[in-house]
Chains A and B, each alone.
Chain A
Amino acid sequence: MSRWPFLRSLCPGQIRADDVEDIKEEIELYLELRTEDLVKEGMDAGEARRIAESRFGDTDKIQADLRRQARRRKAQQGTMMTMGGLRQDLAFAARTFRRSPGFTLVVVLTLALALGGNTAIYSVVDAALIQAMPFEDHEELVFLNGYHLVDGEMSIRGASFPEFRDWNERSRLIGSMAAVGNFTLAVTGGGEAERLATEAVTEDYFEVLRGRAASGRTFLP
């Protein structure tokens, strides 16, 4: 295992003296063990060594082969560095998480809550602002309001019913208008009382929105 994988990759295609020694030592071990085995079979030590070497073949050529292989691999490693580094980083992260489950839990919860919150907010933004409203010609719909001017700040105040009537009669920009007012009502009856969000609307509301009743009918003139 290399202690400085990064430094080593700075010179791709170069193998270190250690690598050359490693190759030599690996083959030397083979020769020694083979010699030992032959001696055990009753051969003279010098003879055994010679046979081991001759059977191994051209030691220099094989070593050169291995060095060439190592060089090629080093060169490839240079190009694989980014991928390998990424994998190592991920493996390192996984190990760190496994070693400190408390920290991992906090991180995961933080991410989960943040992602969950974001998803919730953007779902609302998407539904309210980005997705088309479910009305025909929705891009022609506008919301009219009366405004207060308090200390140079505008604030919504809605409109009175007479105002609405005036707007409706005199406006030449708006095709048709409907007024809405929101009320929260308490409904009591058989069981427990229940709060209901309701909307009071003028008679041409459904016509303006070109909406139809899901069941029954809307207002008749």
Chain B
Amino acid sequence: MGGSNLFTGTLDLLILRTVHLAPSHGYAIGKAIRHGSMGVLSVEEGALYPALHRLEGKGRLEAEWGKTDTGRRAKFYRVTSSGERHLTAESARWAEYSGAVAAILGGSTE
């Protein structure tokens, strides 16, 4: 697996973003994050499921049991409107934050 660990809070954001594209189950979400980041970011399963359940508890995700492509019963997560709002707000905050860090790091290497 390898790759960097995720900062707290970032995982929620990545999950919301991934699920926002299409309702998915836990394994697909973890895989999508790994692939989406070209293998740089990996989600520990030990963190993924508690995060999913936490987001569900906060009402940012909605879960429903459905069938996978291969006909397996799986718990599918979907972003709620509250989750959408959180995603929009946090994405903006993250862009600002990462931009600021990049600006400082870029300046210090000169």
A-side interface residues toward B, CB under 8 Å? Answer: 1, 22, 25-27, 29-30, 32-34, 55-58, 61-62, 65-66, 69-70, 72-73, 76
Contacts and interface: CB of A to CB of B under 8 A. Distances in A.
B45 A30 contact: yes
Interface stretch (B3-11, B46-54, B91-99, B101-109): B46-54
Nearest to B45: A56
Contact of B75 (A26, A32, A73): A26
Contacts of B50: 62, 65-66, 69
A29 B25 contact: yes
A25 B74 CA distance: 8
Interface of B: 1, 25-27, 30, 44-46, 49-50, 53-54, 57, 64-65, 68, 72-75
A30 B68 CA distance: 12
A29 B53 contact: no
B73 A25 contact: yes
B57 A56 contact: no
B53 to A, nearest CB: 5
Q: Give the secondary structure class of A's interface.
A: helix
B105 to A, nearest CB: 32
Nearest to A57: B46
6 interchain residue pairs of minimum CB distance: A57-B46, A33-B27, A73-B57, A56-B45, A30-B27, A26-B75
A57 B44 contact: yes
Contacts of A30: 26-27, 30, 45, 49
Contacts of A62: 45-46, 49-50
B64 A66 contact: no
Contacts of B45: 30, 55-57, 62
